């Protein structure tokens, strides 16, 4: 998952955002790889991790499209497209080889070339998690084009786009437009209207240097109040769930995402160098772990009995396995664009 950790040509690293990346990535792995206990489902299933990722990603991407920095925009799409295209091809090859050699692949059947085509076109044919990557690429491209066309008025157009997205969601247009399609298309295409407002909010907050404005202005009790407010929102389901596919409760997700963004984005750990080093280390491969963990879970479940139990502990083990794969992958392709498959 792409999150640029520099903003407005600053060398400052938002260590709190890196920590949030790690926590969200771990949350996603647990959600996908463990059987969640009933009393915990309210916190795991009503997730705001992906909406928060979208907001954060576009907060740090906005200066590049605002200033129309072609080199950085190009670099973003390289980081997004390499794993989006290459991981499905790698999985296709591994699955079909295993079935050919031992008649027991990652999936039940051999994948066909049309599966690769559909996977790349829609992002969810057999490696379902790339629906998020599809949304990230589509929204990034759309906003970049708008920025080049409208130049200094682009932010105003973004705002109108956000309002339109909210309207087609709350009016039910988005739901009824895609409801008759297969679930994989519902999630991918329906998710655009649900996540676009988060991207727009990220751009708006970036336009006013929001994190810079709040830096050193929040005390510990402010952070505690923010966390308790999120807990309250999710525990008592304050907002009505509207029609939708992946993250239909937009108002709840917008509030939770902004609150977490404020809290983690303003964390000051300058005096704790050891903690900063650890956070940088554990958050280094969140993108690669996100790409790899579903296929590794399926593989381990088929070939190692322990992982069929889908416990919380096995989820942590899968996370560690993914981290090691990403670490080795980065060592092998450090000076090659294939490194984007692991970072």
Domain total in the chain = 1
Task: Tell me the C-alpha distance between 49 and 28, whole Å.
Answer: 8
Domain that holds residue 204: 15-341
Query: What mean pLDDT, rounded, does the chain reach?
Result: 86
**Three-class SS state of 308:** helix
Residue 4: what pLDDT? 39
Q: For residue 153, what are its two tokens?
A: 């008025």
- On whether residue 274 sits in a domain, the answer given is yes
Does the residue 5 lie in any domain? Answer: no
2 in any annotated domain: no
Residue 30 is assigned to a structural domain of this protein:
yes
pLDDT at 82: 96
The H or E element containing residue 214 is helix 210-214
pLDDT tens for 138-185 read: 999 999 999 999 999 999 999 999 999 999 988 889 999 998 888 888
Interval 60-76: pLDDT, tens = 999 999 999 999 999 99
Please give the average per-residue pLDDT across 221-242, as a whole number. Answer: 77
Look at residue 7 and tell me if it is in a domain: no
Q: CB under 8 Å to 179, separation ≥6 — which residues? A: 186
Closest CA to 28 of 342, 287, 336, 340: 287
- Torsion from C-alpha of 283, 289, 290, 291, nearest 10 degrees: 140
CA distance 185 to 237: 27
Q: Tokens in use for 177?
A: 């437009």
Q: Residue 313 falls within a domain, yes or no?
A: yes
127 vs 9 pLDDT, higher one = 127
- Angstrom distance (rounded) from CA 260 to CA 263: 5
Residue 37's pLDDT band, with cuts at 50, 70 and 90, is low
**CA dist 298 → 52, 88, 210 (Å):** 27, 15, 41
| DSSP letter, residue 4 | -
Note whether residue 110 is domain-resident: yes
- Tens of pLDDT along 257-270? 999 999 999 888 87
pTM above 0.75, yes or no: yes
Distance CA 20, CA 25 (A): 8
Q: Is residue 161 part of a domain?
A: yes
């Amino acid at each position: 998952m792409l999150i640029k950790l520099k903003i407005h040509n600053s060398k400052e690293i938002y260590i709190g955002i890196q920590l949030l990346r790690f926590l969200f990535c771990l949350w996603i792995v647990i959600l996908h790889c463990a059987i969640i206990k009933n009393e915990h489902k309210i916190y795991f299933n009503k997730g705001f991790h992906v909406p928060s990722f979208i907001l954060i990603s576009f907060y740090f991407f906005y200066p590049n499209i605002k200033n129309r920095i072609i080199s950085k925009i190009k670099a973003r799409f390289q980081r997004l497209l390499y794993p989006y295209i290459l991981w499905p091809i790698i999985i296709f090859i591994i699955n079909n080889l295993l079935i050919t050699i031992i008649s027991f692949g990652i999936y039940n059947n051999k994948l066909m070339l049309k599966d690769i085509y559909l996977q790349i076109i829609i992002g969810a044919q057999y490696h379902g998690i790339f629906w998020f990557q599809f949304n990230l690429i589509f929204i990034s491209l759309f906003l970049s084009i708008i920025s080049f066309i409208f130049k200094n008025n682009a932010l105003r157009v973004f705002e109108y786009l956000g309002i339109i997205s909210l309207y087609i969601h709350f009016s039910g247009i988005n739901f009824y437009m895609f409801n008759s399609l297969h679930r994989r298309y519902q999630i991918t295409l329906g998710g655009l209207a649900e996540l676009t407002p988060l991207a727009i909010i990220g751009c708006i907050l970036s336009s006013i240097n929001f994190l810079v404005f709040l830096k050193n202005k929040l005390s510990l009790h402010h952070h505690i109040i923010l966390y308790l407010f999120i807990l309250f929102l999710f525990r008592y389901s304050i907002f009505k769930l509207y029609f939708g596919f992946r993250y239909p409760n937009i108002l709840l997700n917008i509030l939770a995402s902004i609150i977490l963004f404020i809290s983690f984005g303003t964390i000051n750990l300058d005096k704790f160098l050891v903690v900063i080093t650890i956070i940088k280390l554990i958050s280094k491969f969140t993108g690669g772990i996100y790409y790899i963990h579903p296929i590794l879970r399926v593989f381990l479940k088929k070939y190692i009995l322990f992982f069929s139990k889908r416990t919380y502990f096995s989820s942590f083990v899968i996370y560690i396995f993914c981290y090691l794969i990403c670490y080795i992958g980065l060592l092998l392709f450090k000076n090659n664009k294939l490194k984007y498959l692991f970072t």
